[in-house]
Structure 1
Amino acid sequence: MQDYQTQLEKLRKDAAECALIRDLATDQAKRELFERISNHLTVLADQVEQAMNDRTKGAVA
């Protein structure tokens, strides 16, 4: 379970860093690219979190 938590934290951190780059970018194409990357990493983090929750519920049930 710790591996999931570590990956979750890394994905959330990477998503936040991409959002920061997006906010600082002056080039429109770069802003759009880092917006897409940030959104994608956020979705991945949400999926990891859901897998953690599902696994925890399965272990309890």
Structure 2
Amino acid sequence: MKDMKAQLEKLLIEASECALIAKLATDKTKRDLFAKLAEHYGVLAAEVQKAIENAATEQ
């Protein structure tokens, strides 16, 4: 469970950092890329969060 929580934290940090880069990017291509990455990391974080919740209810 600790590993999953650590992974969740990493994904959330990556999502927020990519969102920040997207906001600061002056190049449209980079802005779009980092916005897409932020969204993807957010989806992955949500999946890990669901897995953590499911594992907690199974115990």
Q: Same fold (TM over 0.5)?
A: yes
Q: TM-score, normalised by structure 1?
A: 0.94
- What is the RMSD computed on CA atoms of the aligned residues? 0.4
Equivalent residues in 2 for 1:5-44, closer than 5 Å: 5-44=5-44
Q: Percent identity?
A: 46
- Gaps of at least 5 residues in structure 2 are none
Unaligned runs of 5+ residues in structure 1 are none
Larger radius of gyration: 1
Q: What is the count of residue pairs matched by the alignment? A: 59
Q: Is the aligned partner of 1:55 residue 2:50?
A: no
Deviating runs (4+, > 4 A) in structure 1? none
TM-score (norm 2): 0.98
